[in-house]
Each structure stands twice: as C-alpha cells, then as structure tokens.
Amino acid sequence: MTEHLFHRHMPALRICYSINLHEHHGEIMLRIGMLAGVLDLKGANFRSFAYAHLSRIVEYSTYMLLLLGEKDPMGRYIAEFEAAKEKHPGHTFDLTDVPSLDKYWALAEEAGEVAAALTYDNDKDTGHKAEVVSEVVQVGALALAWMVAICKKEKSR
C-alpha cells in the first residue's frame, strides 16, 4: 500500500476500550473548544498548539471508530479526504490558503453531527438520520487534513 500523506500525521494509538463513545466524543468536543482558544495565535505558536489539539481529535475519533467496529480507520479517513477533494476542490483542509476559522467551524459542525447521530431519536422521524461511523470518519479526516496544512505551512517558512 502506498503511503498517503495522512499516515505521517496519524497519532500513535493507545487503544482504550474501557472508555465509551460518549467520553471519546466529549474529548473531541473539549479539544475543539481548546482549538478555538488558539485561533488568534500567530505563526509557530498557533501551529504547535493547533497540531496538538488536532492530533488528539484524530486519536479520539479513531477510538470511536474502533469501538464501533471499524477495522480500517485510516483507510476510511483517506477515502473521505479523497471524496472531499472531488466535492470541494480548492477548499479542502489540507490547503494552507483555506482560513483556519473556516476549518474550525466545519470541524465543530461535524463533531455536532456525531452528537446528532448518537441521540436517542436519530433513526426516528424526529431525528437527524445520521450514520455515526460516517460522521466520525469526517471528523477524523478533517482533523488529519488540517494537520497536513499545518505541516505544509511550517515547511514553507
């Protein structure tokens, strides 16, 4: 298998099956909140803090996928990213010219979609009808792509 640009940004996983989906999602939301707190930082400070928070978002997204029975989270992240490049050409998270605030809002929205997929009425007429695995994959793929952009920005300096 050819190495995809996401592979070097995938955090080393310390699988933790004792934590449930809700705690993992809570950690994702916490990291998104912490990411909001560094959006006004500039340069290396922003890149360092943002990369650390995004890495944890990928980690907890991956834990969720494993708990949900997904066997190949990285494969799903890559497929999602490749589909996003087709759907949103010129505005994917791996691009350094896409504003961080745009990336933040989209990532926060996707984390909200995960929450919607986990609600009691998701599969009912009153619910969102979201597919939880797909929503978690989107969160992880967006975070990984943003990590790629951070590294591109760092290398361009």
Q: Retrieve residue 51's tokens.
A: 């990369």
Q: Which of 66, 68, 64, 153 is nearest to 103 (CA)?
A: 153
Q: What is the pLDDT of residues 34-70, one digit of tens each?
A: 999 999 998 888 999 999 999 999 999 999 999 999 9
Distances (CA, A) of 92 to 70, 108, 128: 24, 15, 25
State pTM to two decimals: 0.86
**Domain residues of the chain, as ranges?**
12-155
- Residue 19's pLDDT is 73
Q: Mean per-residue pLDDT for 94-116?
A: 94
Rg over alpha carbons for the chain, rounded to the nearest Å, is 15
Residue pair 39/104 in contact (Cβ under 8 Å)? The answer is yes
Per-residue pLDDT at 17 exceeds 60: no
d(CA 53, CA 70) in angstroms, rounded, equals 23
Q: How confident is the model at residue 142 (pLDDT cuts 50, 70, 90)?
A: very high
Distances (CA, A) of 91 to 3, 112, 121, 126: 23, 21, 33, 32
